[in-house]
Structure 1
Amino acid sequence: MKKIKLIVLDVDGVLTDGKLYMGSDGEEYKAFHTQDGMGISLARYAGIKTAIITGRSSEAVTKRSKELKIDYVFQGIHEKLEVLQQIVSELQIGLDEVCYVGDDINDLPILREVGFPAAPNNAVPYVKEQVKYVSLLKGGEGAVRDIIESILQEQYDYETLLDDYLYGKIRVVQ
């Protein structure tokens, strides 16, 4: 695996369980897993940029992205690959230095182009056949953390990275 410099995430089915919770007022609710948040924080600490590219738009995603200091957030996007190409151009990296985590067929155009395509265990079967890594965990249940840890363990002395992170941090957002 080439060194990953950008981790891009879908939201529904990846950072969440894929269910849409809507109140009678039309407000959309999403449940995020704190362990995924810690994984994103670890990736950022290691110098890996983070992004969200999702087809839906949600204030919950906006709020969670700000909490986690996600570098790039694009919502309401149907041509996800075009947006990713803009990001990699800005960062001056190749698609082979990108990990994308997706769970459904609308993620295939990106999954087929990046260096490290990954999916949570609840991804549709066809997507799971197309990626290099399938987490044992489901979206919204720690799959993102698992995928990020697999990257960090491959690219870094993971124990040293964790020690540096733990003893160098005062406040950690999960």
Structure 2
Amino acid sequence: MNKKIKLIVLDVDGVLTDGKLYIGSDRVEYKPFHTQDGMGISLAHYTGMKTAIITGRKSEAVSKRAEELKIKYVYQGIHDKLTVLQEIMDDLQITLDEVCYVGDDINDLPILQKVGLPVAPNNAVSIVKEYAQYVTISNGGEGAVRETIDHILAEQYDYKSLIQDYLDGKVLIVQ
């Protein structure tokens, strides 16, 4: 990976979650999120990377988790994900080459075919894996996002020094 990733965009179901829908008898939707993914997002933010969620479904659980993780760009109920991505890129003044997108199903293909770093979790559908530049060892909802972020950070930084600086509370000078 020769490019500098500045934005990580995530689908939710099958990426941040295991892809299963948990709907209680009270009609409330529950989603299991992996804490290691959350730490990965914190590490990405520490380096100055931005994060976004673009998902086809709407869920209060996603809003709550995104707020906890300080994800600025959260778009739910989106059919045309590419148009939303363009709005985010315009706001950040970045190009497609500077974007990593993690998706697991065919509705993610329009973005995966255009970004600089297309990523698929291990349990993504086959056609999505064909378009991915990086396929995680982990499944969606089981640390695939963290694995992706660790991969990017290891390419862009001295990873062990970065982790030590994070643990020491040092302010990272982002260029």
Count of residue correspondences: 169
TM-score computed with the length of structure 1 as normaliser: 0.96
Moved over 4 A (4+): none
Kindly, what percent of the aligned residue pairs are identical?
75
Deviations 1:8-41 (A, max 9, x none): 0000000000000001111100000000000000
Alignment partner of 1:93: what SS?
coil
Deviation at 1:147, TM superposition (A): 0.5
Deviation at 1:123, TM superposition (A): 0.1
CA distance in 2, matches of 1:43, 1:119: 18
Deviations 1:101-136 (A, max 9, x none): 000000000000100000100000110011100000
Aligned counterpart, 2:49: 48
1:126-145 superposed matches below 5 A: 126-145=127-146
TM-score computed with the length of structure 2 as normaliser: 0.95
1:95-134 superposed matches below 5 A: 95-134=96-135
Aligned counterpart, 2:173: none
The gaps in structure 1 that reach 5 residues or longer are 170-174
The gaps in structure 2 that reach 5 residues or longer are 171-175
CA distance in 2, matches of 1:71, 1:98: 15
Q: How much is the aligned-residue C-alpha RMSD, in angstroms?
A: 0.8
CA distance in 1, matches of 2:26, 2:77: 20
1:38-117 superposed matches below 5 A: 38-117=39-118
CA distance in 1, matches of 2:39, 2:88: 23
CA distance in 1, matches of 2:67, 2:12: 14
